[in-house]
Amino acid sequence: MSADRCVFCQIVAGELPSTMIAEEERAVAFMDINPATPGHLLVVPRDHAQDVFSVAADDLAACASLAQRMACLVRDRLGADGVNLLQSSGAAAWQTVFHLHVHVIPRYAGDPLRL
Ligand code: 5GP
Ligand code: ZN
């Protein structure tokens, strides 16, 4: 069963370990396994959707709302000076996990990350 499910579906289902930060009705947020900056989070819909082209509008809205909440969290709890919200859809856009996700990337004044 789980072998048929994508990695983020398995994380949502609790079948793969993750550091879960927020769990809402339609979306969850967990730490990225390979953070671009300290506190890098991913927000994903609970229901599988491959990308922005196919996700249900209410799931996309739930992700946007949770991403905003996580942006405030990294500002208030981690002292981030700014945040990048990034969503990549399609291999040409460098999407590597084909379950829609929004990156919440905390930015710190002078940090070296170039997107
Ligand atoms: P993409 O390149 O598709 O926009 O981003 C995929 C993100 O998922 C990457 O930042 C990568 O580090 C993260 N990722 C891939 N596999 C896992 C995993 O098993 N667990 C977690 N927490 N993050 C993952
Ligand atoms: Zn999935």
Residue 85 has pLDDT above 80, yes or no: yes
Residue 22 lies in a domain: yes
Residue 30 lies in a domain: yes
Whether complex ipTM tops 0.85: yes
Residue 90 lies in a domain: yes
Split at pLDDT 50, 70, 90, the class of 1 is very low
What value does the mean pLDDT of the chain take? 96
The tens digit of pLDDT for each residue in 25-43 reads 999 999 999 999 999 999 9
For residue 67, what is the enclosing H or E element? helix 57-78
For residue 21, what is the enclosing H or E element? strand 20-23
> Phi-psi bin for 90: left (phi > 0), alpha (psi -120 to 50), beta?
left
Q: What's the N-to-C CA distance of the chain in angstroms?
A: 36
Residue 46 lies in a domain: yes
Give, for ligand 1, the residue of 20, 33, 37, 70 to mutate: max count of ligand atoms closer than 8 Å to Cβ. Answer: 33
3-state class (DSSP) for residue 62: helix
Residue 99 lies in a domain: yes
Q: How far is the CA of 87 from the centre of ligand 2 (A)?
A: 15
Residue 112 lies in a domain: no
Residue 68 lies in a domain: yes
Q: What is the CATH number of the domain that holds 18?
A: 3.30.428.10
**Tally of domains in the chain:** 1
- pTM value is 0.97
Q: Ligand 1 within 6 A of 51 CB?
A: no
